[in-house]
Amino acid sequence: MCMILLVDQDDVLADFELGFLSKWREMYPDKPYVPLEERTTFYIRENYPKELEPLVDSVYSSPGFYRSILPMQGGPEAVKEIERKGHKVFICTSPLSRFEDCVLEKYLWVEEHLGREWTKRMILTSDKTLVHGDILIDDRPEIKGVCKPVWEHVLYTHSYNKQITSKRRLTWQNWKEILNI
């Protein structure tokens, strides 16, 4: 059976967490940082002292930051394999509210790491409940919006979503056993 898989971009295909931490330490070497395995909140800024929030935001808005993010290990290969198995994959991503900093770079990132054809598979939306699919692979603990979603939310495992026990979860290291597709 052909399934439609919606795959989130940040921290599912693109290693946003690592990109942020690398850039943070490069830009602000004298400031404290939160190691990846100690991150506990979905939004990075919530794990940093309030007074550092403008600095945290300045990392996202550095020109070229988004494009410099590395792929999640195994991510691009996994979505291409899912396609080869006859399913349809769409990249379903919510822009930062400062859209200026990321919208075009999100497309350029996909072109660079998956190929230009994949830019046609991108769906940019702040509300993922409006998008039809069988499965949404996303690292955000809870996904809300105006609709009752038709997809099953499968969590992409990160340290900051470990508390969620009500959903199936995977990484690109074990997706084949979990999804069984």
- Using only C-alpha atoms, the chain has a radius of gyration, in whole angstroms, of 16
Report if residue 113 touches a second copy, rule: CB under 8 A. Answer: no
11 in catalytic set: no
For a second copy, the binding residues in 22-41 under the rule CB under 8 A are none
CB of 4 to a second copy, least distance (A): 7
Q: Report residue 176: phi and psi, to 5°.
A: -65, -40
Helix, strand, or coil (residue 140):
coil
Using the minimum distance from each CB to a second copy, give the nearer residue, 48 or 107: 107
> Residue 136: exposed, middle, or buried by beta-carbon count in 10 A (0-12, 13-18, 19+)?
buried
Q: Determine which residue in the list 26, 112, 127, 142 makes contact with a second copy, applying CB under 8 A.
A: 127
Q: Given the structure tokens 């690398």, which residue do they identify?
A: 22
DSSP 3: -
Report if residue 99 touches a second copy, rule: CB under 8 A. Answer: yes
Report if residue 146 touches a second copy, rule: CB under 8 A. Answer: yes
Using the minimum distance from each CB to a second copy, give the nearer residue, 10 or 17: 10
Written as one letter, the residue type at 30 is D
> Residue 100: exposed, middle, or buried by beta-carbon count in 10 A (0-12, 13-18, 19+)?
exposed
CB of 150 to a second copy, least distance (A): 8
The answer to whether the Cα torsion of 35, 57, 18, 158 is positive or negative is positive
The dihedral formed by the CA atoms of 40, 44, 45 and 47, expressed in degrees to the nearest 10? 20
Report if residue 68 touches a second copy, rule: CB under 8 A. Answer: no
Of the ranges 7-15, 40-48, 68-76, 92-100, which one interacts with a second copy (CB under 8 A)? 92-100
Count of residues in contact with a second copy, rule CB under 8 A: 28
Residues classed as catalytic: 8, 10
Q: By the criterion CB under 8 A, which residues form the site for a second copy?
A: 4, 88, 90, 95, 97, 99-100, 103-104, 107-108, 119-127, 129-133, 146-147, 150
